[in-house]
A = this chain, B = another copy of it.
């Protein structure tokens, strides 16, 4: 199952677009605009959204619009295309409507199907409900002489029963009576999930749903799928979106929904290692980036104060004062600081470990040292980390993501070459292979 069944091993971005809007002279205007996106603004997976983003009475026209626009411009779109159709675990009427829309979109006479990579099914319930959608897609494939299983199926997890269903995928995929191997993305839908769980917050803000995200990421890992987080509503809040992505990545959820091309750019870049490494310090509850000045890492904030008094040091963190010897101060600073490695640093470390392995060593110590300056007082710090095969494999994740992006998204080569130097790109593509 560790082998992914699809071309993409990673999906960073899941970008939705309304399929038909009344009032405009061209109801497909937004589709036509989105399919022109290229480079960092283009998502890994584009989702013409014939469900929530489109008004119910516009959805038949929406299905036609998808077929028309993808037929025209789908050949040149750099990402995959997975339209979302209507579906509901509690409504046979909605499910039948979704089936009809899939038949329309995939009809070879409309000329779009070669560029339709799969469908996104929202509001699924337990695993038997997933099978109903799978069966409709099988019928679509059979009807149009497509290979069984060639259309991917992604689901939106927005009910407790769908969350539980994810625990059963390994048992159900591969059974003779379904084609669930077509499963591709497991996408959390936190707004509807909140409704289904009947959760209430005082301000109406969305709960964190950390357990849901863990369970989605785990299911993706266990069943060879890809985990994607739901929409982040506050479009202006770039920092908040970035923080959410960072938190998701630490759970193995490397993809996220994007509502605007701006969010697409952010979500395409966030999981990749930075161009330049940097140091941070824990300043009384906040993580603050240090500023490099002539090779020294300088803290310029007000939350930490440091003074040398004879042989000892007075370190003030927030309202707390510590009297420390030089050795104790170094130890405290080692604990407070952290280094965020650049792509270059990561490749360096991996190559160093590969060389050690060839020389017959199973584990080596990687040293990280610098000089930290607070209130003009400069202190040298240094720390070791043991690397063994498992560390090496775990550090491979951001590099493997980069390699997957580079192979599948030639339209982003320029942006990546600008972000990293040519040399780093070349080494990153070779390491681990």
A: residues with CB less than 8 A from B are 1-2, 10, 22, 52-55, 90, 125-126, 159-161, 163-164, 167, 170, 189, 191-192, 194-207, 210-212, 214-215, 217-222, 233-234, 237, 246, 249-252, 254, 271, 280, 284-286, 301-303, 318-321, 335, 338-341, 346, 360-362, 385-386, 388-391, 393-398, 400-401
A257 vs B405: C-alpha distance in the bound complex, in angstroms? Answer: 37
**Which of A159, A204, A284, A346 lies at the interface centre, i.e. has the most chain B CB atoms within 10 A of its CB?**
A204
Judge whether B191 and A338 touch: CB under 8 Å. Answer: no
Judge whether A199 and B341 touch: CB under 8 Å. Answer: no
Judge whether B249 and A218 touch: CB under 8 Å. Answer: no
Tell whether A222 pairs with B320 under 8 Å between CB atoms, given A191-B391, A201-B249: no
What residues of B have a CB within 8 angstroms of the CB of A206 in the complex?
Answer: 394
Tell whether A202 pairs with B159 under 8 Å between CB atoms, given A218-B164, A233-B385: no
A318 vs B318: C-alpha distance in the bound complex, in angstroms? Answer: 8
A280 vs B202: C-alpha distance in the bound complex, in angstroms? Answer: 11
What residues of B have a CB within 8 angstroms of the CB of A215 in the complex?
Answer: 211
Q: A53-B388, A203-B280 are in contact. List 4 more A-B contacts (CB 8 A).
A: A195-B393, A198-B252, A207-B250, A286-B320
* A-B residue pairs in contact (CB < 8 Å), sample of 11: A52-B389, A160-B220, A160-B222, A191-B391, A195-B390, A198-B254, A199-B250, A203-B339, A205-B338, A207-B250, A234-B385
Contact of A194 among B164, B361, B394 (CB under 8 A): B394
- Closest B residue to A278 using CB positions: B202
The 7 closest A-B pairs by CB, nearest first: A160-B221, A197-B252, A160-B222, A199-B252, A191-B390, A161-B222, A160-B218
A320 vs B398: C-alpha distance in the bound complex, in angstroms? Answer: 34
What residues of B have a CB within 8 angstroms of the CB of A250 in the complex?
Answer: 199-201, 207
Tell whether A200 pairs with B401 under 8 Å between CB atoms, given A362-B55, A394-B195: yes
- Closest B residue to A23 using CB positions: B360
- Closest B residue to A203 using CB positions: B338
**Closest CB in chain B relative to A17 CB, distance in Å:** 13
What residues of B have a CB within 8 angstroms of the CB of A200 in the complex?
Answer: 249-250, 254, 271, 397-398, 401
**Closest CB in chain B relative to A313 CB, distance in Å:** 16
Judge whether B397 and A195 touch: CB under 8 Å. Answer: yes
- Closest B residue to A22 using CB positions: B360
Judge whether B191 and A394 touch: CB under 8 Å. Answer: yes
- Closest B residue to A208 using CB positions: B250
Judge whether A192 and B246 touch: CB under 8 Å. Answer: no
What residues of B have a CB within 8 angstroms of the CB of A388 in the complex?
Answer: 52-53
A202 vs B1: C-alpha distance in the bound complex, in angstroms? Answer: 27
A197 vs B397: C-alpha distance in the bound complex, in angstroms? Answer: 9
Tell whether A197 pairs with B211 under 8 Å between CB atoms, given A53-B362, A164-B170, A203-B341: no
- Closest B residue to A214 using CB positions: B211
**Which of A197, A198, A385 lies at the interface centre, i.e. has the most chain B CB atoms within 10 A of its CB?**
A198
**Which of A205, A254, A301, A320 lies at the interface centre, i.e. has the most chain B CB atoms within 10 A of its CB?**
A320
Judge whether B221 and A197 touch: CB under 8 Å. Answer: yes
- Closest B residue to A21 using CB positions: B362
**Closest CB in chain B relative to A329 CB, distance in Å:** 16
A319 vs B214: C-alpha distance in the bound complex, in angstroms? Answer: 35
Judge whether A319 and B320 touch: CB under 8 Å. Answer: no
